[in-house]
Structure 1
Amino acid sequence: MPAMAGTTESGTGEAVAQPRKSSWKYIGPGIVVAATGVGAGDLVATLIAGSKFGYTLMWAAVIGCVVKISLAEAAGRWHLATGRTLFEGWRSLGQWTTVYFAIYVVVWGFVYGATAMSSSALPIVALFPDGPGLKTWAIITGLIGLVFVWFNQYAVFEKVMTVLVGVMFVVVVYVAFRVGPDVGASFAGLVPVLPDGSLLYTLGLIGGVGGTITMAAYGYWVNAKGWTNTGWMKVMRLDNRVAYITTGIFVVAMLIVGAELLHSSQLALTKGDRGLIDLGKILEDRYGAVTAKLFLVGFFATSFSSLIGVWHGVSLMFADFVERLQRDRKGAPVDVGTVEEVAAGVKERSLPFRAYLLWLTFPPMALLWLDQPFGLVVVYGVLGAFFMPFLALTLVWLLNSSRTPAEWRNGMLSNTMLGAAGLLFIVLCVQQVRELLG
């Protein structure tokens, strides 16, 4: 059998991955994960941190990016080093991972679908106040996301996400420069300091922005790009660093806006996505309608990129989840990997992939007419709070075991970063659960 692209054959005829030089021309999955992971709610949380503490917590944003680089690198390394998807790794840890993920992906998808559609509709309503209302635009954005992901595979999806992240980047950085950053205070904010009452905001900055189930989806996007073996490891690591440096720039820019525009004037924002509508009005008062409308376009790009990113990435994970269970029932060997199926686009055409797309789109529309039921919100919040500790600690487990080839297991730095991330997310998890139950 001939060796695959990016491999050669050893003397025994076994395919051996050849290292590829890291190059900017390969960048793609990192841009996708950056665009998906940063939602409108994340930007508001960062703005509020800047409005309360100025530049003081800049250091926390930087540490947060380093933590996310470590987590995403670990997820990508698992896919490339083992030839197995992340869910296959979780499955090897025991039945409990399947039970947790099954409940999580169903409840999370139901509530997130409504949240993503509403978030994407908000800036459209602000841009076109005489048009249809919020619910109508929310349904339209959900249907556009469904049709786009249903009929396009990864290559087109990546190009569109790149355009959206470009819009996000230009707008957010432009607004930060428009409000006039204090360079001296920015550098001073890199010195770790904890003002009174800032602990939860600090933990949120480190653990929140860009930290969702999309981090687990990163390995799937790596495979969808066509990277399926260790020859792509250097490329993946460059791609991942680009992703979270980009995310870091978003966070720093929004902290600057919060510090300069809100902190100095003691202005407050509404929590959640609607806080960006408040910011749009403040920008219009200070800098005119053009800046405000440009910001709303960036707000839409941020929200809609998260929508289609989840529609694609989490549907890939769900398809892998369902197909792994089907293989188990048929008695397929545990080491039967599916990364080649992801790379070939097979999963994007599969029934489970499209079934989850429909689940993300249509049932959540009912929540647009209802206040989200309290019990559902609590379950959603608790499951979501547990996901990041679950991801960090299972990656430590998988990448220190014989499931991973010795060459690609965790070193001291990876274990330190993933262990620290796990502890951080446990603290955040406990706090979030306390708030929900309180």
Structure 2
Amino acid sequence: MADTARQSGTEDTGGAPPRRASWRHIGPGIVVAATGVGAGDLVATLIAGSKFGYTLLWAAVAGCLVKISLAEAAGRWHLATGRTLFDGWRSLGAWTTVYFAGYVAVWGFVYGAAAMSSSALPLQALFPGVMDLKWWAVLCGVAGLVFVWFNRYAVFEKVMTLLVGVMFVVTVYLAVRVTPNLGKALAGLAPVLPDGSLIYTLGLIGGVGGTITLAAYGYWVNAKGWTDTSWMKVMRLDNRVAYITTGIFVVAMLFVGAELLHSSGVALAKGDKGLLDLGGVLEDQYGTVTAKLFLIGFFATSITSLIGVWHGVSLMFADFVTHFRERGVTGGTGATTGEEVAAGTREKSLPFRAYLLWLTFPPMSLLFLDQPFGLVIVYGVIGAFFMPFLALTLVWLLNSSRTPSEWRNGALSNGVLGAAGVLFLVLCVQQVRELPW
């Protein structure tokens, strides 16, 4: 394993994991947290703060606990079984293969355009008049492709960590700058539901940081060089630190929404453009420097989601293709192991690079044309079902004989994952209802 780690540029501790969890080993959790929190998530948090002040702070904290449990479960599966998550899904039946194939095809096509556009918005605002938004988006997509194509996990993790540092500094600075009311913030930790807040509450708990990248966490754990249960304590520390960091992002944006927007009655546009609205408000209130700093943080938030998906979902797709070739849709008993991912060859494989190309070039057509109506419907339906699919299949896998008895779910894990599954089903129904049928 030490040789494998050295070849792939992943974790190298002389062949033996540390005796205790150490801060210096943290990495995959930061990657999954940064990828999962996009510009749209921050807008949703800002809007919740602008409408309800600090009242829903408890929901943001609860959401972080849900994500900790989901990511921990995905990482625990990889380390406890030595198998990848897709291999576990495949053991539940061929339906999982069909679902995953449809999901990554449609979701990747539409998400690619969304991620490129989100990354382009702050660049156009920082450099007005240089290029049209569409061409900034194309540049971001190609830059993400080139970066992931030529770098393995070790470099990818370092760049993601640097960008998270930028996000952290900017969000904390903004939260301090608006001078939050700490008394009201503490009161917001009490679970209450103001009138008309149910959907916002569910969105805060289930939406922020909740994407397919939670499923990619186990792959990044393996890519780091962690492939067996001796790394379990390290993985759990890594995961908790990551989502505490996410919690700080979310709480900081809620503070900004509560103080800057709630009191003044300013309304933000939905989606990524809402952050541009916030940039204008910040410039009016605190000057150009603060507004520019915010746009830099906005770009860091968006580009981490882009390159994180470019790497993590491509890694999952490469595993899917390899597994499909070896076993087929309906037969075979071979397993795909974490050590295969740790070897680093997946990041240079044809399926990995093919999915990178799929995420980058076909979606560019959506940048120049209105999104086809039917595609939006299919994307919304398939995407809405992924988080309940992840939560409930993890409950299934981690309570079965597929997982060694020592590492199966306890009552607390089952309770949190089961509640998460129900929550995501409710959000799924709501999202499908809101689609432009």
Q: Which amino acid aligns with 2:37?
A: V
**2:291 corresponds to:** 292
Query: Retained in 2: the 8 A contact 1:79–1:228?
Result: yes
Indicate yes or no: 2:189 matched with 1:186. no
- 1:47 matched residue in structure 2: 46
1:245-265 Cα distance to aligned partner (Å, 9 max, x none): 011001100000000000000
Pairwise mapping of residues 170-185 of structure 1 onto structure 2 (< 5 A)?
170-185=169-184
* Letter paired with 1:301: A
Alpha-carbon separation, structure 2, partners of 1:78 and 1:20: 21
- The equivalent of 2:312 in structure 1 is 313
Q: 1:330 to 1:209 in 2, by over 3 A?
A: closer
CA deviations over 1:60-105 (Å, ceiling 9, x no partner) = 0000000000000000000000000000000000010011100000
Distance 1:260 1:331, change over 3 A: closer
In structure 2, C-alpha distance between the alignment counterparts of 1:349 and 1:339, rounded to whole Å: 16
**Counterpart in the other structure of 1:104:** 103
Matched, 1:271 2:261: no
How far apart, CA to CA, are the structure 1 residues paired with 2:243 and 2:321? 30
1:3/1:318 CA distance change after superposition, 3 Å: closer
- Partner in structure 2 of residue 24 of structure 1: 23
Residues 11-410 of structure 1: pairs in structure 2 closer than 5 A: 20-329=19-328, 334-410=333-409
Instruction: Structure 2: give runs of 5+ residues left out of the alignment.
Output: 6-14
Q: Is the 8 A contact 1:46 1:258 kept in 2?
A: yes
1:124-155 Cα distance to aligned partner (Å, 9 max, x none)? 00001020110111000100000000000000
Question: Residue 249 and residue 260 in structure 1: after superposition, are their counterparts in 2 closer, same or farther (change >3 A)?
Answer: same
Runs (4+) off by over 3 Å: 2-6, 16-20, 329-333
Normalising to structure 1: TM-score of the pair? 0.95
Q: When the two structures are aligned, how many residues end up with a matched partner? A: 428
SS in 1 for 2:434: helix
Q: Distance in 1 between matches of 2:392 and 2:18?
A: 29
| 8 Å contact from structure 2 (residues 144, 310) kept in 1 | yes
CA shift in 2, pair 1:185/1:91, >3 Å: same
Distance 2:329 2:112 in 1: 32
| 1:368 partner letter | L
The residue that corresponds to 2:412 in the other structure is 413
Unaligned runs of 5+ in 1: 7-15
The corresponding residue for 1:12 is: none
CA distance, structure 1, for counterparts of residue 414 and residue 18 of structure 2: 24
Aligned partner of 2:428: which letter?
Answer: C
Distance 2:330 2:412 in 1: 38
What is the Cα deviation at residue 222 of structure 1? 0.1
Tell me how far 1:334 sits from its aligned partner: 2.6
Equivalents in 2 of 1:119, 1:336: separation in Å? Answer: 38
Q: Secondary structure at the match of 1:146?
A: helix
Q: Measured at CA, do residues 146 and 174 of structure 1 come closer, stay the same or move farther in structure 2, by a change above 3 Å?
A: same
3-state DSSP of counterpart to 1:172:
helix
Q: Provide the C-alpha distance between the structure 1 equivalents of 2:16 and 2:170, rounded to a whole number of angstroms.
A: 41
The whole-number CA distance in structure 2 between the counterparts of 1:437 and 1:145 is 31
Change (3 A) 1:194 1:356: same
Question: 1:337 Cα deviation (Å)?
Answer: 2.8
Question: Once the 2 structures are TM-superposed, how far is the Cα of residue 267 of structure 1 from its aligned partner?
Answer: 0.3
What displacement does 1:4 show?
8.4
Contact 2:326–2:334 under 8 Å retained in 1: no
- Identity among equivalent positions (%) equals 79
